[in-house]
Amino acid sequence: MLEETTNQTFNENDDEIVFADEDDDEIVFADEDDDELICANSEDKQILFTNANELSLSTGDSWKILIVDDEAEIHHITKLVLSEFIFDGIPLRFISAYSGEEAKTLIETHPDTALILLDVVMESDDAGLEVVKYIRDVLGNSLVRIILRTGQPGQAPEDVVIIHYDINDYKTKTELTTRKLFTTIVTALRAFRALNRLEESRRQLAKIAQASARFVPRQFLHFLKKNSIVDAKLGDSVQATMSILFADIRSFTTLSETMSPRENFDFLNSYLHQVCPIIRQHNGFIDKYIGDAIMALFPETVDDALMAAIEMQKQVAIYNESLQNRGCLPISIGIGIHSGSMMLGIIGEEERLSSTVIADAVNLASRLEQLTKLYGAGIIVSGEALSKLDDPQTYTCRFLDRVQVRGKQSFVAVFEIYDGDSPLIQEFKTQTKRDFEQGVWLYFQEKFTQSQLYFERVLQVNDQDLAARLYLERIKVSQQAGIALKCEEFDVFHKKR
């Protein structure tokens, strides 16, 4: 309930004070050389109430007012006049500084100060102005309202100060009557409250923008030439050449059957936490998650995608150690990489939009990832992607096969990159590379008996080479058919069996 005071009434629809008596209580400040300050009729202090329905944005339970003046009486009389001042249902809290240097320290300690009543001439003729520069330029505090109060206006002319210093008001001490002081304080606090609201809105928008980047990568918006997700609209698209990486956990369906839905959910997040940062570290970004699969794009080089794939395989090996220590089964992942032209854009309908990438290149990268299961390879890349590497000799690889993308007539050469395998397996594959690739070449020449001998030699060194075993099966079936079966043909035959 609002109190009523002598000579003052409150208008419920406004937060202004209405004085019944037009006479103003004058605050009389003595000359700065005098030792005494007088407040006429100080016993008749006015109390200011504001509209209680307005939302306060004060950072605490009071509005902090910093009084900066080297005269103790100035502090005393200001606090006396404003002792019962309430704005927005919140009282004032006074903080005193008696020099410019002390003021600098206090504003650092209290960055949420709403208003500074600042003297100009203190330990030096421009001490107050130096405080203004420190607050605005050094601390970067643009929210606090600064009102200069000077008893010597000649030392700091108003027109010069207003132009060159970021202050919000300029008053001589002799002109600050009780009413004018109240008006000045109300104006300053309203401005501080409004700026706080704007700052809070800015912070919320920044949070929203940051959160939206987790759903639609900034790089994706960059290619669409959009500053934020707000600017994106249905149909926005652009064509670009990139490398595509698909990664998938092998036999995840079987693995997930041993876990509850919550355990599945937590496991996936744990796994993604291990491998996804590696993609970003190599200049890539994640376009989407498809169950346990990851689709990532690398705008710069194929080397970025391949190095990320190798590091992901090594990280999974480290992750498996922690899984086994907890009594969990280890996992393995397959990764397919291709490079080509694609369309990036926004699809859907007005009520539900989604960013996506559409191209044959995407389909091929996905197909290569699926082939890792068939060949027992950790990483498979297309010949086109391999040809775009800065130096293919940097990586250890072997030719695997020629495959056909669904709906296309042309064949694509595919290669296994085994730098992400264990050191022992890398050694075995390097040792048998010549025999393996010779066996593949003879197979496509339909010289099945000779081809079989080479693959058997491979298995004598590395009996875990699934690709060599796969070719031996293809040789048996192809001998019956009389022709070398393509990967797709054998895959169909293998499924029927």
Query: For the chain, what is the domain count?
Result: 3
Residues 382 and 456 in one domain: no
Look at residue 492 in the predicted model and tell me its pLDDT.
52
Residues 137 and 263 in one domain: no
Q: Which ranges in 90-241 belong to alpha helices (H)? A: 100-109, 127-133, 158-164, 178-215, 218-223
**End position of a domain, from candidates 393, 421, 449:** 421
| Tens digit of each residue's pLDDT (9 = 90 or more) over 94-119 | 999 999 999 999 999 999 999 999 99
Most confident range (mean pLDDT) of 155-159, 407-411, 468-472 is 468-472
Q: Burial of 386 by CB count in 10 Å (0-12 exposed, 13-18 middle, 19+ buried)?
A: buried
Q: Is residue 133 part of a domain?
A: yes
Residues 345 and 487 in one domain: no
Look at residue 27 in the predicted model and tell me its pLDDT.
46
Q: Is residue 283 part of a domain?
A: yes
Q: Is residue 116 part of a domain?
A: yes
- Whole-model pTM: value is 0.64
Q: Is residue 450 part of a domain?
A: yes
Burial 85-94 (b: 16+ CB within 10 A, else e): bbbbebebbb
Query: Quick check: 14 pLDDT over 60?
Result: no
- % of the chain at pLDDT higher than 90: 48
Residues 15 and 35 in one domain: yes
Q: Is residue 3 part of a domain?
A: no
Q: How much is the average pLDDT of 61-75?
A: 92
Residues 336 and 483 in one domain: no
Residues 325 and 412 in one domain: yes
Q: What is the CATH number of the domain that holds 295?
A: 3.30.70.1230
Between 15 and 449, name the one with better pLDDT.
449
| Tens digit of each residue's pLDDT (9 = 90 or more) over 332-377 | 999 999 999 988 888 887 777 777 788 888 889 999 999 999 999 9
Residues 188 and 270 in one domain: no
DSSP string for 218-279: HHHHHHTT-SSGGG--TT-EEEEEEEEEEEEETTHHHHHTTS-HHHHHHHHHHHHHHHHHHH
Look at residue 426 in the predicted model and tell me its pLDDT.
95
Q: Is residue 483 part of a domain?
A: yes
**End position of a domain, from candidates 421, 436, 459:** 421
- Which residues does residue 91 pair with via DSSP β-bridges, in sequence order? 86
Query: Quick check: 235 pLDDT over 90?
Result: no
Look at residue 424 in the predicted model and tell me its pLDDT.
94
Residues 390 and 488 in one domain: no
**End position of a domain, from candidates 406, 421, 436:** 421
Q: Is residue 208 part of a domain?
A: no
Q: How much is the average pLDDT of 439-464?
A: 94
- Gap between the Cα atoms of 268 and 6, Å rounded: 70
Residues 223 and 302 in one domain: yes
Q: How much is the average pLDDT of 85-99?
A: 92
Q: How much is the average pLDDT of 226-239?
A: 73
Residues 402 and 438 in one domain: no
Q: What is the CATH number of the domain that holds 97?
A: 3.40.50.2300
Residues 185 and 317 in one domain: no
Residues 14 and 156 in one domain: yes
Range of the domain at 436: 424-497
pLDDT band at 212 (very low <50, low <70, confident <90, very high): low
Look at residue 105 in the predicted model and tell me its pLDDT.
95
Look at residue 181 in the predicted model and tell me its pLDDT.
85
Q: Is residue 213 part of a domain?
A: no
Look at residue 46 in the predicted model and tell me its pLDDT.
35
Q: How much is the average pLDDT of 326-336?
A: 90
